[in-house]
Amino acid sequence: MTTLDNNQQQRMADKIAQIDRLCARARIMPVITIMREEDILPLADALAAGGLTVLEITLRSVHGLTAIRRLREERPELCVGAGTVLDRQMLAAAEEAGAQFIVTPGSTAELLQAGLESDVPMLPGTSSASDIMLGYALGYRRFKLFPAEVCGGTAALKALGGPFNGVRFCPTGGVNPDNLQRYMAQPNVMCVGGTWMFDSEWVKNGDWARIQQCSAKALELLA
């Protein structure tokens, strides 16, 4: 079993605190895949105008790193992280682009170790108790539950709360306005991730006002 020294323990505690602060700010974190570079700023502006200012930009498209870099430079008031980080190389590229946090869809020993060494806080993905235990051994206490609905949704979160006291989650995958409140009512949920507030057709058509309105309505559900 890996044993963290005092310095590593303190660094991990600091990064957990950072994750807690950004999730408290976010409440709902848009998970964004940029398909056209011209959408980067207007989409971010529409989401922010609706109250969503913590953005996860996935690396699923060739525009992901560009989006992170531009938003960090041109919209410094936003908190911008990298999602769909799959390995050490992608983590390094996201750091270089200026990502303020890292989100992964799953956990590997290599990626968890890279996150431990990084100065940027990481939210590792999990879909099982075994995944959590891999991260737990390295000091991780905050995870992304993905795909949340497929993994059991709120029932899974209730079950995981027993053996993993002190662990909290950001469920992503299948979260929508119909189940949002149920997720956020779970004591081990700190925020949720989703895409429903910016339908791909709205982005394609430049319907920024609709995205702003949907973002604001999403937060109203948590009022």
Domain residue ranges in the chain: 6-217
Choose the catalytic residue: 37, 73, 110, 144.
144
Is 144 catalytic? The answer is: yes
Choose the catalytic residue: 15, 56, 95, 149.
56
pLDDT tens, position by position, 14-44: 999 999 999 999 999 999 999 999 999 999 9
pLDDT of amino acid 2: 64
CATH number of 6-217: 3.20.20.70
With b for 16 or more beta-carbon neighbours within 10 A and e for fewer, the 198-207 pattern comes to beeebbeeeb
Contact 123, 104 (CB under 8 A): yes
pLDDT tens, position by position, 180-209: 999 999 999 999 999 999 999 999 999 999
Nearest-CA neighbor of 127 among 152, 103, 146, 108? 146
Is 149 catalytic? The answer is: no
pLDDT tens, position by position, 111-154: 999 999 999 999 999 999 999 999 999 999 999 999 999 999 99
Quick check: 3 pLDDT over 80? no
